[in-house]
Chains A and B, each alone.
Chain A
């Protein structure tokens, strides 16, 4: 770095710090004028005008309220989902022809591939779950707020810098190239050795960004564990803890053990890249060490991403099946079983690396065993719907879509757990199809079920029903077209991660792109629907918009919503009776 560069940086940094100081002074000034603490007294929830929060943009920058932070997480995840989705649309466009005709360069494809994976897993998947958990867990378990509200805010605010660092390679910065390591970042490629471009700063920045997102997830997890253990209301005993909170608790436990390990491995990789250590060099710990460390994190990460969505499904699906969840405690125990076993299966990602066959066999055994708890859940969802009075609302459609896609994604996965099958299908599109059935078909569907289900709770308005249904059908059909084509491509022997392919794969690739386009259109409809409805959707006219009272399936968060509505209506028309079964409200719901 030359002197002028350093000077410029110094000036910029100094100006930035001054700006921060000025901002802090301003916020402190606002604070000293605001009556604190004693303000509300015993007025209950009537203080929902946020006298305790500053107004405007500053409110969002300084909030430590779990609901606000949940909304921030949600907005962030949505942006990341759009970015990751646009990236994959470019990739799918590229894959319509066997050569690199569309993007013109395989390196750009590789960069998109890497970024798409990391964005979807770390910047969309984990945050969207945190959005639901932050908003809902304290409401459902009757906590005042999260146990550590400020740590909660720190955990969120680490994410935007993480995203900027991860995407840094795509910004027009000199000498910064995007990473092309794929999301698994296997050494030695990721260690920057050899003649490629992977020794460049862009990869370091991405690793730092990932490290930050790991720190964020860990802080969030500690917070959830503390909250669920210590802040529950008195009535919420372990036997009364709802299934969503159980999955968040299990997920947080997994994060607590998995993410610090990722952080350490990333630091080791950064040291290898920048300071000449040999953790993952052939003459040192060896590249396989990276795979062990990465997958010891990476496999629990799969369950970190899927358990809370399973919790959402277990929570929402019974509401529209008109029944209680079948075998509630089976679901709880199997969630915990998945949590433990997920740490004993990591090397099933490494069957073809030539590790000791006895180790392989052990990992196969545990991988087969972990299929049982997942299957138990699936049976429980199906049995819950069996003979139930099913209402095909949009959240319910997404729940059913989840179950359907999860069956396909799960069954394709069980085959991969078997060593001989895996040796044939490893690194083919079969694997890509399998895990996309889970991450898109299941996890994202559950996220959408949650978004539509709690949309009235958060916004007090209804989304547009027909658009939501169009969204669902486009996604349901699009998902199955895209990813089933990938499963077939894998059977045909199409290897994953390539920008080019043999002409015989062209048809199936084009089919997959067609499906991806349906997903794209559905996504646009979703974004439009959420934004427009949030601004000007029809107002919810009862505290029980889903009319759960009729089947005695209402839950604490809707109770909170009802109370909130009544207090805010108290001044005008005094609220209204909730139990208007099937009346005027029903015309508009869903």
Chain B
């Protein structure tokens, strides 16, 4: 962890992202479990966006936007897997699958767009 080790009172001890990782996860879970599209999409965007923010802040990723795009692929992949599973079960997974794929596409566009047009909006380090 690149945290500028030193006395604990000296380095920065605030980060806005953890709260939103923790909010995004339950919202996305509820949305996907009950098939509520807005909650699923919004929750996933919040969750992945905050993770991308943390990765950037901790300097695990050089660019938050690219991290977001990478995460979007994982989510979209999960959605496609659900779509595939839908054929194998009786329960209706289509809405859930499309909301995940949709969230993935949305974030991918956001990530690529941000990388191209909004580099200045990178969170300050």
Contacts and interface: CB of A to CB of B under 8 A. Distances in A.
Interface of A: 1, 6, 9-10, 12-14, 16-17, 20, 23-24, 27-28, 31-32, 34, 36-37, 39-41, 43-45, 47-48, 50, 52-54, 59, 61-66, 68, 138, 144-145, 147-154, 156-158, 160-162, 165, 201, 204-205, 208-209, 211-212, 215, 270, 274-276
Contacts of B17: 150
Contact of A61 (B7, B19, B36, B46): B19
Nearest to B20: A20
Nearest to B37: A6
B9 A63 contact: no
B13 A204 contact: no
5 contacts: A6-B37, A9-B39, A17-B45, A45-B7, A158-B26
Nearest to B95: A1
B30 A212 contact: no
A62 B36 contact: no
A59 B7 CA distance: 19
A461 to B, nearest CB: 21
Contacts of A275: 89, 91, 93
Contacts of A16: 42
A153 B18 contact: yes
B76 interface: no
Nearest to B12: A52
A579 B87 CA distance: 76
B11 A62 contact: no
Given A24-B123, A28-B16, A40-B7, 18 more contacts: A16-B42, A20-B46, A24-B53, A28-B124, A32-B124, A40-B11, A52-B14, A61-B16, A62-B16, A64-B15, A148-B1, A153-B18, A154-B18, A154-B22, A204-B34, A208-B29, A215-B25, A274-B33
Contacts of A157: 18-19, 21-23
Main secondary structure of the interface of A (DSSP, over half): helix
A149 B39 contact: no
Interface string B48-72: 0000011001100000000000000
A226 to B, nearest CB: 9
Contacts of A151: 18
Top 9 nearest A-B pairs (CB, nearest first) are A157-B22, A153-B18, A40-B10, A13-B42, A65-B13, A10-B38, A161-B26, A9-B38, A62-B14
B118 to A, nearest CB: 12
Contact of A63 (B7, B13, B38): B13
A68 B12 CA distance: 13
B51 to A, nearest CB: 9
Contacts of A156: 18, 22
A34 B29 CA distance: 36
Nearest to A207: B33
A150 B18 contact: yes
Contacts, number: 156
Interface string B92-114: 01000000000000000000000
Nearest to B42: A13
A60 to B, nearest CB: 10
Contacts of B39: 9, 13
With most chain B CB atoms within 10 A of its CB, the pick from A14, A211, A275 is A275
Contacts of A28: 16, 123-124
A47 B26 contact: no
Contact of B19 (A32, A62, A208): A62
Given A17-B42, A153-B19, A208-B26, A39 B33 contact: no
Contact of A62 (B5, B15, B38, B91): B15
Contacts of B6: 40, 144
B13 A47 contact: no
Contacts of A6: 36-38
Contacts of B15: 62, 64, 149-150, 153
A144 B12 CA distance: 12
A145 to B, nearest CB: 5
A465 B19 CA distance: 37
Contacts of B19: 61-62, 153, 157
Given A66-B8, A144-B5, A275-B89, A27 B16 contact: yes
A47 B13 CA distance: 12
With most chain A CB atoms within 10 A of its CB, the pick from B17, B18, B45 is B18
B92 to A, nearest CB: 9
Contact of B9 (A48, A150, A160): A48
A204 B93 CA distance: 17
Given A65-B13, A157-B23, A149 B3 contact: yes
B14 A59 contact: yes
A355 B19 CA distance: 45
B10 A47 contact: yes
B55 to A, nearest CB: 10
Contacts of A62: 14-16, 18-19
A274 B90 CA distance: 11
